[in-house]
């Protein structure tokens, strides 16, 4: 069994694809011997956003704090704490924090 505190994991600033104000912590993944998935913690600063992108794997996201939007192509969906989001494979998407508060969420992806 592995138990980790979020603060014990290094925050990595995401800059690829034009990400703005996004930091990620890989809470559990391959280095810890996790066989199937990667559990990631994201903190998006107010007004920040991930790039619009798509890829061949799914995301399962759970919003912990703050508010913002997830874009499904050009369609915007508001998200807030307690929301669970499935982003299917190959679907263009983007996560964006509101202008007034950060957006904090967990994201699970398959191990590649």
Provide the domain limits for residue 24: 10-110
Q: Give me the pLDDT at residue 112, please.
A: 75
86-90: long-range contacts (C-beta < 8 A, 24 or more apart)?
86/58, 86/59, 86/60, 86/61, 87/58, 87/59, 87/61, 88/58, 89/55, 89/56, 89/57, 89/58, 90/54, 90/55, 90/56
Residue 41 lies in a domain: yes
Tokens 């603060």 map to which residue? 7
Phi then psi for 80, rounded to 5 degrees?
A: -150, 170
Residue 105 lies in a domain: yes
Alpha helices, DSSP H only, in 1-112? none
Tokens 């874009």 map to which residue? 71
d(CA 78, CA 39): 23
CB 28 within 8 A of CB 36: no
Q: What's the CATH number where 58 sits? A: 2.60.120.10
Counting the structural domains of the chain, the total is 1
Residue 68 lies in a domain: yes
Q: Give me the pLDDT at residue 90, please.
A: 95
Residue 1 lies in a domain: no
Q: Give me the pLDDT at residue 11, please.
A: 97
Residue 80 lies in a domain: yes
Residue 94 lies in a domain: yes
Q: Which residues of the chain are modeled with pLDDT < 50?
A: none
Tokens 């061949």 map to which residue? 56
Q: Which residues contact 33 (CB under 8 A, 6 or more apart)?
A: none
């Amino acid at each position: 069994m592995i138990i980790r505190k979020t603060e014990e994991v290094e925050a990595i600033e995401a800059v690829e694809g034009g990400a703005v104000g996004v930091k990620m912590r890989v809470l559990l993944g391959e280095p810890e011997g996790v066989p199937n998935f990667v559990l990631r913690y994201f903190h998006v600063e107010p007004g920040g956003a991930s790039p619009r992108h798509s890829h061949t794997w799914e995301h399962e996201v759970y919003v912990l704090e703050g508010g913002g939007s997830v874009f499904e192509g050009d369609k915007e969906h508001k998200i807030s704490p307690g929301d669970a989001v499935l982003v299917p494979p190959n679907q263009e998407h983007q996560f964006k924090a509101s202008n007034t508060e950060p957006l904090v969420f967990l994201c699970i992806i398959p191990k590649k």
